[in-house]
């Protein structure tokens, strides 16, 4: 009788001899679930404690709801990692590393990012409502430095740091090409650092840069944002800004108001100057020191040009100028001093002959 027994064996493909979930038992599964639930409960408890303490402490910059959320996320991620470790998934190999190494590296970088962002926001908020550019730049330099260090540490934790040298060598040519294309970015970054030391403007300052003007809204590593007088947003690269003539309209506490006004040739100049001086004395925002100046600047075609130079607080400059023009005009009218409009006298070489026609 023929032997019907099949002695052939079936060989599984490489990597499938032992399925990933083959080592999971009911005990390990229950243990993993208990660990995850316990970490979530512990995280929620600590979150409530931190929120309650934030209402009774002066260290609100670190003990607040944001910190409570970060702590809660750390416990949840830690519980997930621990649970996966218990069921054996964390030891599963991927390329030359493991799932556990990659998970820990991702978690480390994520929480480093949260801490760096929170620290940057604290530095800026602690400087008040109008933080100076040095505070902004310090906070951003700290943020990017912290993120960069955390990134390379994460690569090391993930077990891929040994491959970095080969990767960087392979990307060398690409780096050279990108270097030429990124030279503008580098130039803007360096210009931003130079502006940090030069300090030509602060956030909230009204400025004029070439034909552009507005209020500084933000100073970043690569560019500066200005809110124009009409409410539009202007983004100026730091390289262009650093090489431009920057006029800071509030760089000093006082700023001069210049107004030119013409009076009729028949008017009394001394009386006009006295009327203008009395008007300025009644304006509380016109500074007594430096003393306002009023003098004859020019003899125009149609009027005697008087120049008014008065000093006012920089932040009130526009209001003072508009009020000054209005009140000086009113005071001269009340004093009977004429402000003439342009006139032109035409002379002809020969007398004009005019023909009149009667209406029919």
Read out DSSP for 280-335? HHT-TTS-SSSPPEEEEEEE-SSSEEEEEEEEEEGGGHHHHHHHHHHHHHHHHHHT
Instruction: Give the pLDDT of residue 90.
Output: 73
Q: Output the pLDDT for position 26.
A: 78
Whether the Cβ atoms of residue 136 and residue 121 lie closer than 8 Å to each other: no
Q: Which class is 254-334 in CATH?
A: alpha beta
pLDDT of residue 160: 66
Domains in the chain: boundaries: 20-169, 185-248, 254-334
Which of 197, 206, 195 shows the shortest CA–CA distance to 238?
195
Question: Mean pLDDT, 10 residues at a time, over the chain (360 residues)?
Answer: 43 44 71 87 87 73 74 83 77 74 81 81 70 69 82 77 53 50 64 72 85 86 86 87 84 91 90 93 90 91 90 92 93 89 74 73
Domain 185-248: give its CATH code.
2.30.30.60
**What is the C-alpha separation between 357 and 244, in angstroms, rounded?**
67
User: Whole-model pTM above 0.85?
Assistant: no
Residue 8: per-residue pLDDT: 43
CA 300-306-311 angle, 5° bins: 145
Instruction: In whole angstroms, give the CA distance from residue 339 to residue 276.
Output: 13
Per DSSP, 161 falls in state G
Give yes or no on whether 185-248 and 254-334 have one common fold.
no
Task: Give the pLDDT score at 98.
Answer: 76
Whole-angstrom Cα distance, residue 201 to residue 7? Answer: 87
């Amino acid at each position: 009788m023929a032997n019907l027994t099949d002695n052939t064996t079936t060989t599984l493909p490489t990597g499938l001899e032992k399925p990933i979930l083959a080592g999971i038992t009911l005990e390990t599964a229950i243990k993993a679930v208990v660990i995850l639930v316990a970490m979530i409960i512990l995280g929620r408890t600590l979150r409530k404690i931190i929120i309650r303490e934030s209402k009774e402490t002066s260290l609100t910059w670190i003990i607040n709801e944001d910190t409570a959320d970060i702590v809660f996320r750390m416990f949840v991620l830690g519980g997930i990692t621990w649970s996966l470790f218990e069921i054996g998934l964390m030891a599963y190999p991927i390329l030359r590393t493991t799932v556990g190494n990659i998970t820990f590296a991702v978690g480390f970088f994520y929480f480093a990012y949260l801490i760096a962002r929170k620290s940057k926001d604290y530095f800026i908020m602690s400087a008040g409502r109008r933080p100076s550019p040095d505070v902004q730049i310090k906070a951003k330099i700290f943020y990017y430095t912290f993120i960069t260090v955390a990134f390379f540490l994460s690569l090391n934790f993930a077990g891929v740091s040994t491959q970095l040298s080969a990767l960087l060598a392979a990307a060398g040519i690409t780096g050279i090409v990108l270097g030429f294309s990124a030279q503008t970015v580098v130039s803007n970054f360096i210009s931003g650092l130079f502006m940090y030391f030069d300090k030509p403007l602060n956030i909230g300052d009204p400025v004029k840069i070439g034909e552009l003007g507005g209020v500084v809204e933000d100073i970043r590593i690569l560019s500066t944002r200005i809110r124009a007088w009409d409410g539009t947003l202007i983004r100026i690269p730091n390289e262009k800004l650093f090489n431009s003539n920057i006029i800071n309209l509030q760089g000093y506490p006082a700023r001069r108001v210049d107004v030119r006004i013409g009076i009729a040739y028949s008017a009394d100049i001394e009386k006009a100057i006295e009327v203008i001086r009395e008007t300025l004395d009644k304006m509380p925002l016109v500074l007594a020191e430096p003393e306002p100046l009023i003098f004859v600047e020019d003899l125009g075609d149609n009027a005697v040009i008087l120049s008014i130079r008065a000093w006012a607080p920089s932040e009130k400059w526009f209001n003072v100028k508009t009020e000054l023009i209005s009140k000086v005009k009113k005071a001269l009218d009340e004093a009977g001093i004429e402000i003439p409009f342009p006139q032109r006298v035409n002379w002809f070489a020969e007398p004009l002959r005019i023909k009149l026609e009667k209406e029919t």
